[in-house]
């Protein structure tokens, strides 16, 4: 990316579409100065790369922008954090225009507005393909960790699994619309669920790489075994998609048994559809219907 007017007009076009901080707190200095946090600060970074996480034209630039921001918001949601600020590092291929930058930002703006997220800085460089590496910061009085689950805790999912994997298949088969395709291109991060979860849950993570792999991560971090019931799983597609599909960005929560009823009532009152899917036990690893389930991962594939 030649520095100078091209880069500047591209940055200006991008920033103008988004809720952003004013200098000295926002874009335009060597670093952004953050407002003082009220609780503890959680930070996360995640990259979305052309040919790896998406292809064009299966994804529009608006889709790419939306999804890049959504997957990072999902990480904050898993911490029970209130989104606050973000940085956007763009890698743009030759021929990428200010209109393209605007389209990316337009895909991000509704999510940023909905979740109170302020752009504070970023970086633009050239690269062989389009890539977005975002860093998000959020606040929580008491962040939810993967390591907090205890034997006896009940496992809850904050939404159905498998729809995004079905959408990936549909896109590969040339389908261009429908709820599966929407789930794949425009996943909605469970930020509200994360905020509610911090009142009840002892541990959480977002199911980005498939239930079996992410459950295994929770089990390992908490030093417990997770016993899942396949007939309890909220399915958006086939059982295989649900177990290994990935990219659904629902949260897996571990809630103390005594709090589960209150927790489910509170979720229902908030219009959230949470489902018990199993429980934590002494031991290690993940069990599905009583049988050991290997941590089979999701290969992020470009549609």
Task: Judge contact between 115 and 191, C-beta under 8 A.
Answer: yes
Q: Which is nearer to a second copy, 32 or 103 (CB)?
A: 32
* Residue number with CB closer to a second copy (182 or 188): 188
Q: Shortest Cβ distance from residue 206 to a second copy (Å)?
A: 6
Classify strands 250-255 and 203-207 as parallel, antiparallel or unpaired. antiparallel
Report the alpha-carbon distance of residue 104 to residue 61 in Å, rounded: 5
How many CB atoms within 10 Å of residue 227? 21
Cis peptide before 299 (omega within 30 of 0): no
Nearer to a second copy, 2 or 174 (CB): 2
Q: Which helix (H) or strand (E) holds 269?
A: helix 260-269
**Closest separation between CB of residue 177 and a second copy, Å?**
27
Closer to a second copy by Cβ: residue 87 or 181: 87
Please say which residue, 19 or 35, places its beta carbon nearer to a second copy. Answer: 35
Query: Which of 49, 235 has the CB closer to a second copy?
Result: 49
Cβ 70 to a second copy, closest distance in Å? Answer: 14
Here the tokens at position 17 are: 């579409």
Q: Which two tokens stand for residue 33?
A: 């100065």
Residues at the contact surface with a second copy, assessed by CB under 8 A: 1-4, 23-24, 28-34, 36-37, 40-47, 49, 51-53, 74-76, 78-79, 81, 85, 87-89, 91, 120-123, 125-129, 131, 133, 135-138, 143, 145-147, 204-206, 209, 213, 221, 246, 295-300
Give the C-alpha separation, 195 to 178, whole Å: 29
Instruction: Provide the minimum distance between the beta carbon of 213 and a second copy in the complex, in angstroms, as a whole number.
Output: 6
Least distance to a second copy from the beta carbon of 91, Å? Answer: 6
Burial environment of residue 113 by CB neighbours within 10 A (0 to 12, 13 to 18, 19 or more): exposed
How near is the Cβ of 236 to a second copy at its closest, in Å? 20
User: Could you tell me the smallest distance in angstroms from the CB atom of residue 261 to a second copy?
Assistant: 26
DSSP state of 20: B
DSSP helix/strand/coil, 15: helix
Cβ–Cβ < 8 Å for 226, 288:
no
Q: 73: closest CA among 36, 45, 107?
A: 45
Taking the complex as a whole, how short is the minimal distance between the CB of residue 175 and a second copy, in angstroms?
A: 25
Closer CB to a second copy, 220 or 229, in the complex: 220
DSSP run (H or E) holding 62: helix 61-78
Q: Both tokens of residue 203?
A: 């541990």
Of 223, 55, 63, 77, which Cα lies nearest the Cα of 151?
223
Q: Which is nearer to a second copy, 183 or 213 (CB)?
A: 213
């Amino acid at each position: 990316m030649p520095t100078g007017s091209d880069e500047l007009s591209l940055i200006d076009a991008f920033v103008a579409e988004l809720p952003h901080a004013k200098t000295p707190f926002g874009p335009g200095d060597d670093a952004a100065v953050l407002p003082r946090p009220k609780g503890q600060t959680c930070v996360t970074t995640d990259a979305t790369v052309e040919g790896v996480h998406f292809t064009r034209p299966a994804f529009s630039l608006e889709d790419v922008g939306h999804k890049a921001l959504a997957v990072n918001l999902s990480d904050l949601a898993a911490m029970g954090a209130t989104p606050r600020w973000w940085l956007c590092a763009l890698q743009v291929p030759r021929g990428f225009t200010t209109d393209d930058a605007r389209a990316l930002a337009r895909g991000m703006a509704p999510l940023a507005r909905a979740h109170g997220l302020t752009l504070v800085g970023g970086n633009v460089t050239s690269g062989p393909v389009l890539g977005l590496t975002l860093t998000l910061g959020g606040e929580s009085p008491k962040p939810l960790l993967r390591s907090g689950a205890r034997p006896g805790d009940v496992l809850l999912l904050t939404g159905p699994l498998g729809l995004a994997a079905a959408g990936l298949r549909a896109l590969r088969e040339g389908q261009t619309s429908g709820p599966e395709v929407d789930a794949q291109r425009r996943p909605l991060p469970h930020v509200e669920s994360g905020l509610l979860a911090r009142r009840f849950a002892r541990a959480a993570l977002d199911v980005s790489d498939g239930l079996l792999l992410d459950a295994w991560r929770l089990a390992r971090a908490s030093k417990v075994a997770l016993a899942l019931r396949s007939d309890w799983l909220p399915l958006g597609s086939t059982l295989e998609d649900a177990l290994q599909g990935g990219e659904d960005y629902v949260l897996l929560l571990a809630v103390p048994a005594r709090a589960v009823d209150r927790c489910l009532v509170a979720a229902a009152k908030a219009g959230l559809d949470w489902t018990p899917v199993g429980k934590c036990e002494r031991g290690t690893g993940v069990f599905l219907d009583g049988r050991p389930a290997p941590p089979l991962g999701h290969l992020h594939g470009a549609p």
